Amino acid sequence: MTEAIGNASSAGLPETTDATAVPTAWNRSELERLGFTGFTRLVGLDRSLLPRRHGVYVVLYEKDERPAFLASNVITKRMPYDPLHLEGKWLTGASVVYIGKAEGREGLHTRVGAFSRQAENHSGGRALWQLDIAGDLLVAWLETAGQSALAVEQSYLQAFKAEYFSYPFASRRG
């Protein structure tokens, strides 16, 4: 169901937000059309930008250059992935490299905030920290008011897999 946002166009925001709609393309312009906001560097993210609501978020790498895959991981308590394994998972041409959800008490604020600090309690997407370009990654989010962030995340993962025949680079499962 699509809800109109009052006077959104004058604020430069999309006219509608529909978390049940899946992207028709996996790029920034399509994500913006669906109502994703942020598009800011993941590392060093200002947490005050993050809403304290449930939602889904994506991590993007918008450059064409293939990254180098590092043997170490800044999350020291977890075993790093084999760089050859990571190289095999890289999807050339895919801007979205991770899709996640935030359903806790403080939603996106806590979950994306922990992720941006490479916190040890956020193991999802940890392959991102083995990329030499981790500092260039962007994060964007979409609130899923009235909908299950888990259900939206799952529909996004399935739609991504339908297009690329794989989940995003750092998403371990769907």
pTM for this prediction: 0.85
Long-range contacts of 83-91 (CB under 8 A, 24+ apart): 83/130, 86/127, 86/130, 86/131, 86/169, 89/127, 89/166, 89/169, 90/66, 90/169, 91/164, 91/166, 91/168, 91/169
Question: Which tokens belong to 173?
Answer: 């499962």
CA atoms of 125 and 169, how far apart (whole Å): 8
Q: Where are the beta strands (DSSP E) in the chain?
A: 3-4, 16-17, 37-41, 55-60, 96-102, 138-143
- Residue bearing tokens 């399509």: 30
Helix or strand holding residue 159 (H, E): helix 149-164
What sign for the dihedral angle of Cα 13, 15, 17, 21? negative
Q: Is the CB of residue 166 less than 8 Å from the CB of residue 89?
A: yes
Q: Per-10-residue mean pLDDT for the chain, 174 residues long?
A: 33 48 93 96 91 96 94 75 94 95 90 77 78 94 94 95 95 72
Strands 138-143 and 96-102: unpaired
Domain boundaries, given as residue ranges, for the chain: 35-164
Fill in the DSSP letter of residue 8.
Answer: T
Residues 144, 55 contacting (CB under 8 angstroms): yes
